[in-house]
């Protein structure tokens, strides 16, 4: 900060220190991934099904016969990593013109993401409205917050069929389920966030005789944004889970939910496919999460970098 004051220049976050920390993050991510892969294949090496060439059918020559037989390391529970990767390139279902699994998953993920994102937006707006009402009315907060919390203790698999029954087996139901799972983190975080302003800033606004809505838009809401983004990161992933769960009872055939159910049913004949679908789902979650992180960085880019000043 001393240099900033001396030069009258605004230091930005493109500091070399920040770049270095990003690099470290990438390296540690890669290291952890490698460690998981080594553990995975190591278990199979010691106690898995006899190893055959990648993608080979049973009966082809055995390349390695593990000394032990652990059920959790068999090809059925823990397929070889390369077989999972191969599965992405192969047709997603038997048939002459079936698309590759990767392509099918990408389409399904995009479809599911759309419902999840719409639910995420509705959930965020609903959460914001509820939190705004609660911070302005102690009475409503005391009366309604217990119900908001209770709503989240009911398992969504119990609610999903009812929602589908009420709103029909279509995307609307899926969006409602995603909304249901996303409004909660936003509500709880924003009840806190909308009260996180500096109390002296509130006195300042009072000394200007500012109206409630001016205090809300100029003080409460901007001060709460770090809380909002924390909540959005949680609800981004929750929205995807909600959409996937909703697609089952919702009878949606285009999304990841249907695909996961199908691969579950045919697990014995192709365990790699379910694993591949899990990988695709995880990737979707990470992409959505990163979108929020980027938005957060953009919106909060001018605020004091944490502890750097």
Partner 1 sequence: MPDQPVVHLAGVDKVFARGDQPVTTALEGISLDIAQGEFVSLIGPSGCGKSTLLRIIGDLTGPTRGEVIVNGKPAEQARRDRDYGMVFQAPVLFEWRTVEDNVKLPLEVMGASAERRSQRAAEMLQLVELGEFLKHYPWQLSGGMQQRVAIARALAFEPAILLMDEPFGALDEMTRERMNSEVLRIWEQTGTTVVFVTHSIPEAVFLSSRVVVMSARPGRITDIVDVDLPRPRNEDTRESPRYFELVTAVREALRHRDSGESGGGAGAGDAGLASAERTMAEGAVG
Q: Is 222 or 251 the residue whose CB approaches partner 1 more closely?
A: 222
CB of 4 to partner 1, least distance (A): 5
Q: Is 5 or 158 the residue whose CB approaches partner 1 more closely?
A: 5
Binding site for partner 1 (CB under 8 A): 1, 4-5, 8, 10-11, 198, 200-201, 203-210, 214, 218-219, 222, 225, 300, 302-304, 309
Q: Residue holding tokens 């470290």? A: 24
- Residue by residue, DSSP assigns 152-180 as HHS-HHHHHHHHHHHH-SSHHHHHHHHHH
CB of 223 closer than 8 Å to CB of 197: yes
> Can you tell me the distance from the alpha carbon of 241 to that of 178, in angstroms, rounded to the nearest whole number?
8
Q: Is 8 or 71 the residue whose CB approaches partner 1 more closely?
A: 8
CB of 204 to partner 1, least distance (A): 6
CB atoms closer than 10 angstroms to residue 28: 10
Q: Is 145 or 215 the residue whose CB approaches partner 1 more closely?
A: 215
CB of 211 to partner 1, least distance (A): 8
Sorted by sequence, the CB contacts under 8 Å of residue 222 that are 6+ apart come out as none
Rounded to the nearest angstrom, the gap between the alpha carbon of residue 285 and the centroid of all alpha carbons in its chain is: 4
Q: Is 179 or 224 the residue whose CB approaches partner 1 more closely?
A: 224
End-to-end CA distance of the chain: give it in Å, rounded. Answer: 6
Q: Is 186 or 219 the residue whose CB approaches partner 1 more closely?
A: 219
SS3 for 235-250 is HHHHHHHHHHHHHCCC
CB of 24 to partner 1, least distance (A): 25
Q: Is 138 or 304 the residue whose CB approaches partner 1 more closely?
A: 304
Torsion angle defined by CA atoms of residues 29, 30, 33 and 35, in that order, rounded to the nearest 10 degrees: -110
Angle in degrees, CA 163, 169, 174, rounded to 5: 60
CB of 210 to partner 1, least distance (A): 5
Phi, psi of 51 (to 5 degrees): -80, 135
> Can you tell me the distance from the alpha carbon of 215 to that of 221, in angstroms, rounded to the nearest whole number?
9
CB of 208 to partner 1, least distance (A): 4
Q: Is 160 or 194 the residue whose CB approaches partner 1 more closely?
A: 194
CB of 247 closer than 8 Å to CB of 161: no
Rounded to the nearest angstrom, the gap between the alpha carbon of residue 283 and the centroid of all alpha carbons in its chain is: 9
């Amino acid at each position: 900060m001393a240099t900033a004051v001396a030069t009258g220049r605004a230091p930005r976050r493109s500091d070399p220190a920040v770049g270095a920390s990003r690099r470290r993050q990438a390296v540690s991510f890669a290291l952890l991934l490698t460690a998981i892969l080594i553990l995975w294949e190591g278990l199979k090496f010691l106690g898995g099904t006899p190893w055959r060439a990648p993608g080979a059918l049973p009966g082809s020559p055995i390349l390695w016969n593990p000394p032990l037989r652990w059920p959790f390391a068999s090809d059925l529970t823990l397929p070889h990593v390369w077989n999972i990767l191969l599965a992405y390139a192969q047709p997603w279902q038997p048939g002459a013109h079936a698309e590759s699994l990767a392509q099918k998953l990408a389409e399904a993920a995009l479809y599911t993401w759309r419902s999840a994102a719409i639910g995420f937006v509705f959930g965020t707006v609903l959460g914001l409205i509820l939190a705004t009402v609660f911070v302005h009315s102690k009475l409503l907060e005391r009366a309604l917050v217990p119900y908001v919390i209770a709503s989240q203790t009911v398992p969504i698999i119990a609610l999903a069929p009812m929602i589908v029954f009420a709103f029909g087996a279509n995307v609307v139901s899926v969006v409602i389920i995603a909304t249901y799972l996303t409004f909660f983190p936003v509500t709880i975080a924003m009840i806190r966030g909308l009260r996180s302003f500096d109390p002296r800033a509130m006195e300042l606004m009072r000394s200007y005789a500012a109206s409630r809505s001016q205090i809300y838009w100029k003080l409460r809401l901007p001060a709460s944004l770090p809380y909002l983004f924390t909540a959005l990161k949680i609800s981004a992933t929750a929205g995807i889970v909600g959409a996937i769960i909703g697609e089952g009872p919702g009878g949606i055939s285009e999304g990841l939910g249907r695909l996961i159910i199908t691969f579950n049913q045919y697990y014995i004949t192709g365990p790699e496919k379910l694993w591949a679908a899990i990988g695709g789902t995880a990737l979707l979650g990470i992409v959505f999460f990163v979108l929020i992180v980027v938005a957060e960085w953009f919106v909060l880019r001018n605020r004091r970098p944490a502890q750097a000043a």
